[in-house]
Structures are given as C-alpha cells and as structure tokens.
C-alpha cells in the first residue's frame, strides 16, 4: 500500500471552542474547518549558516538549527457564521456565549493588549502521509470581504510559537548488517491490518559498516505487536552490528483522531445590509437613524491587524518561542460604492468645517437552522470616521472608495461589536 499524497485529502482541525490555558500546553481539537483547498499549515524553520565566518575556504560548511515558528494563512471562500466566530473571537479576544433557542449567540469585542488567546491546530497532509499538531497559534490579522454577487469571504494570517508534534518519527535501531528483522524499542506501528501497518513504515535505511554510506532497506511485513517487529530483506551478508534508521507512524496519540466538522450553510452578500450615518445605542443594542446602503455597494472589507510579539527568550528550549505578547491592534473598514450622492465626501469635512463621525452596522443573514433562527453575522462600529474617499470612474460609473477608520467609543467601551448566531456552543472560551 502506498501513502496517499493527494492534496484534496488534507484536513485542518482547530480548538475553536476552547482556547489554550497557557502557552506551551496544547488544547483538545474540537472542530474540522472547511478551508480552501490550497491552505496548508506550515512551520517557519529558522536556520543560519556560517558563510559569514573565516573558515579558510569559501562557502558555508555548517548550518545551525535555531528552532522554528509557525507561520501560515487560511482562507474561507464560502465563509460561514462559525468561521467568523472562530477567527474574530481569537483576533479580538473577548467572546461571551449565550444559549439562543436551538443555537447560540456569541458577542465578540476587543480585549486589552496583553497575553493573547492561543488556539491549537492540526493538519493532515494527504490522506496517510503525516499529521502535525501546532500549538500556541495566534490570529495576527483577519480580513472579511463582502463583495457583490459573491459569498462572504475570510482570510487570516496565523503566527505561532513553533511548538510542533508529528505522527511520524524516525527511530534508530542497532542490529547486524545481515539481519532479517528489526524490533522497535517500544512502539507499535499504526494500523489495524497488515497492509496499513506496512504502509505506515515509510522508509528504512542502514549504514554500510564498511563504506559508511546509507543504503535503502527493503521491508515486507510489520507485526501487530508492541513493540512492532519489521521483516526486512538482509542488506548485507556480514554479522556486523550497525545502525538502522526507521521512519514510521507509531500508534497515534489521541489528538491525531480528528473531530467532526460542524456543517453550516455559507453566507451570501445578497443577504447583507449595511447602515451608515446613524447612532449606536449600546444599552438597548439599537442602531438609531442613519442610511441603508444597498445596490450601490461594490464591496466592503473589514480588517483587524494585531501586533503580536512571539520570541524565544531566556528559559526556553531554543526549539520554539516561549514568549508572546499582543501590544497593539488596528482596524480598517473599506467601502467601495457607486457615488450616487455626496454623503461620504461630506463626512470628511473638507470645506464644511469639522469632520463628522457616525456608527456603521453591517448585518449578513444566512439560512435558517431552526424556526425563527438564522445563521447571522452582525458587526457594529459605534464610532467611525472617513480618512479619505477618492473619486474615480469604474465601469463607466462615478465611484468612490471610502477608507473608514473604526475608533474607540468611550460610551460602549469598544470599537467594534460582532454578534454571531449559529449552533456552535462556544468560541475561544477560557
């Protein structure tokens, strides 16, 4: 049996519902996320060579291992309410979950800078190649896009400490060069049947005791015992002790059994309403006044960018970071629309006196999951100002691109409030 390395079998799982208790302690995975097919979780390995040193010759002769950090992006081209809840809860930091009929409501607001909320992620590469566990992950940025005639989309940049575990290991075994079987030190090999166990031994090599080269070893069977016994074809004819290196998948830990995917319907931009120019009442949770923008909107884009410090400091191992701090956060709200009136230009205040601020509400409603209950994402920005709104011609229509700035509101105590309704019980819970 050959390992399946077709990319469509990749899977991503996360601890969406519950965050890690502390850095360095992975959380139980609870949800498989339906991300875009091109997404892959990766380590950013840190290596340094000695090409800058005086070695008596040109070019490097040594590579130093400086550990790794986690660094990758994930995207949802058909974003669901649960995807918004997961990414926004970890990006902003505060999530209050309450029962709501047959489902739940999640109210997400920004937390103060400090130790950020960590989640754990895991990735299955192909169907049977390997699974990797990534701890201490942070949402460094998230962008949601509401574009005409499309699904709502999400993209997030994720960084992490580099703390990593793999289901595949390499083990060194001492045996004679003419051995016909190898016994692992302590592990069994993953697989309920003989063909699966055989496929989960990926490679065996042996060091020729004379030439010291590494030679590939043929193998034909793997026992169900613990430790496992691997039947091999003797690579040589001499009973000289040497080292075999076995790359294999031991009996997998609990985290390698991925959870189920929470199935929801994605959200469509045609079921989205944007209100601008009104006032937000944080007590009654009412949006008062303002205008409802509709078919003049080309797209809306909201971005949260966190400034996260992830560093290897004294007291760590040198293999991964042992320090993380969120020190700052910025938001942008971009509105591209047909310029059917002078509203945005007027808010800038050029030639009109002081610039004006206002509240913005953006609500996307999806399918019903119970009577009277729909998947939804409701974003409120209590205080927003216009930085710029350059005018252009797009598809023979006068258009403008509003660069809006969500700001802190001292009355409500937040710059953004995101309410999400779905069937997931919690997000980033402590």
Is 427 inside any structural domain? Answer: no
Residue 100: pLDDT over 60: yes
Is 57 inside any structural domain? Answer: no
Q: How confident is the model at residue 214 (pLDDT cuts 50, 70, 90)?
A: very high
Q: How confident is the model at residue 343 (pLDDT cuts 50, 70, 90)?
A: confident
CA distance 58 to 325: 41
**Same domain? 15 vs 84:** yes
Write out pLDDT tens, residues 250-274: 999 999 999 999 999 999 998 899 9
**Same domain? 217 vs 346:** no
Q: Would you state the pLDDT for residue 347?
A: 82
Q: How confident is the model at residue 352 (pLDDT cuts 50, 70, 90)?
A: low
* First-residue to last-residue Cα distance in the chain: 43
Range of the domain at 173: 169-251
**Same domain? 277 vs 330:** yes
Q: How confident is the model at residue 355 (pLDDT cuts 50, 70, 90)?
A: confident
CA distance 93 to 88: 8
Residue 80: pLDDT over 90: yes
For 324, the token pair is 């993380």
Is 314 inside any structural domain? Answer: yes
**Same domain? 147 vs 176:** no
Burial 135-167 (b: 16+ CB within 10 A, else e): bbbbbbbbbbbbeeeebbbbbbbbbbbbbbeeb
Which of 234, 251, 268 terminates a domain? The answer is 251
Is 280 inside any structural domain? Answer: yes
Residue 1: pLDDT over 70: no
**Same domain? 344 vs 218:** no
For 129, the token pair is 């190649």
Write out pLDDT tens, residues 103-122: 999 999 999 999 999 999 99
89 contacts 427 by C-beta, under 8 angstroms = yes
Which of 202, 217, 251 terminates a domain? The answer is 251
**Same domain? 114 vs 237:** no
pTM of whole model > 0.85?
yes
Which of 220, 251, 282 terminates a domain? The answer is 251
CA distance 155 to 301: 11
**Same domain? 408 vs 270:** yes
Q: How confident is the model at residue 12 (pLDDT cuts 50, 70, 90)?
A: very high
Residue 351: pLDDT over 70: no
Domain total in the chain: 2
The set of long-range contacts for 96-103, using a CB threshold of 8 Å and a minimum separation of 24, is 97/425, 97/426, 97/427, 97/429, 100/373, 100/421, 101/370, 101/372, 101/373, 102/369, 102/370, 102/373, 102/423, 103/369, 103/370, 103/373, 103/421, 103/422, 103/423
Write out pLDDT tens, residues 307-322: 999 999 999 999 999 9
CA distance 82 to 267: 11
Burial 85-98 (b: 16+ CB within 10 A, else e): bbbbbbbbbebebe
**Same domain? 147 vs 198:** no
**Same domain? 269 vs 139:** yes
pLDDT over 70 percentage in the chain: 98
pLDDT over 90 percentage in the chain: 87
């Amino acid at each position: 049996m050959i390992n399946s390395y077709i990319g469509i079998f990749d899977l991503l799982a996360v601890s969406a519902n519950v965050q890690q208790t502390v850095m360095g302690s992975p959380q139980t995975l609870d949800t498989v996320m339906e991300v875009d097919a091109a997404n892959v979780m990766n380590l950013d390995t840190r290596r340094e060579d000695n090409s800058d040193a005086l070695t008596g010759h040109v070019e490097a002769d040594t590579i130093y291992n400086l550990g790794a950090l986690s660094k990758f992006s994930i995207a949802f081209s058909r974003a669901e309410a649960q995807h918004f809840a997961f990414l926004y809860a970890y990006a902003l930091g505060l999530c209050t979950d309450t029962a709501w009929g047959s489902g739940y409501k999640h109210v997400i607001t920004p937390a103060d800078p400090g130790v950020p909320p960590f989640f754990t992620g895991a990735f299955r590469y192909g169907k049977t190649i390997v699974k990797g566990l990534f701890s201490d992950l942070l949402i460094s940025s998230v962008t949601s896009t509401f574009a005409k005639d499309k699904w709502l989309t999400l993209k997030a940049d994720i960084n992490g400490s580099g703390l990593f575990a793999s289901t595949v290991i390499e083990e060194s075994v001492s045996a004679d060069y003419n051995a016909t079987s190898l016994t692992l030190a302590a592990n069994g090999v993953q697989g309920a049947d003989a063909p699966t166990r055989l496929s989960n031994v990926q490679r065996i090599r042996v060091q020729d005791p004379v030439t010291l080269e590494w030679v590939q070893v043929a193998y034909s069977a793997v026992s169900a015992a613990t430790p496992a016994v691997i039947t091999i074809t003797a690579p040589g004819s001499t009973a000289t002790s040497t080292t075999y290196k076995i790359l294999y998948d031991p009996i997998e830990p609990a985290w390698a059994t991925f959870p189920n995917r929470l199935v929801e319907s994605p959200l469509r931009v045609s079921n989205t309403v944007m209100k601008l120019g009104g006032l937000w009442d944080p007590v009654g949770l009412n949006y008062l006044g303002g205008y409802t923008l509709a078919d003049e909107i080309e797209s809306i884009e909201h971005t949260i960018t966190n400034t996260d410090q992830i560093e290897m400091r004294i007291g760590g191992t040198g293999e991964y970071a042992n320090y993380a701090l969120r020190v700052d956060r910025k938001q942008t709200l971009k509105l591209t629309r047909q310029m059917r009136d002078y509203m945005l230009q007027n808010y800038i205040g050029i030639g009109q006196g002081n610039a004006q601020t206002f509240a913005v509400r953006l609500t996307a409603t999806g399918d019903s999951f119970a009577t009277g209950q729909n998947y939804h994402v409701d974003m409120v920005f209590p205080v927003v100002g216009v930085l710029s709104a350059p005018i252009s011609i797009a598809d023979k229509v006068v258009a403008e691109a509003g660069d809006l700035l969500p700001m802190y509101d001292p009355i409500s105590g937040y710059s953004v409030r995101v309410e999400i309704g779905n069937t997931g019980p919690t997000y980033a819970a402590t």
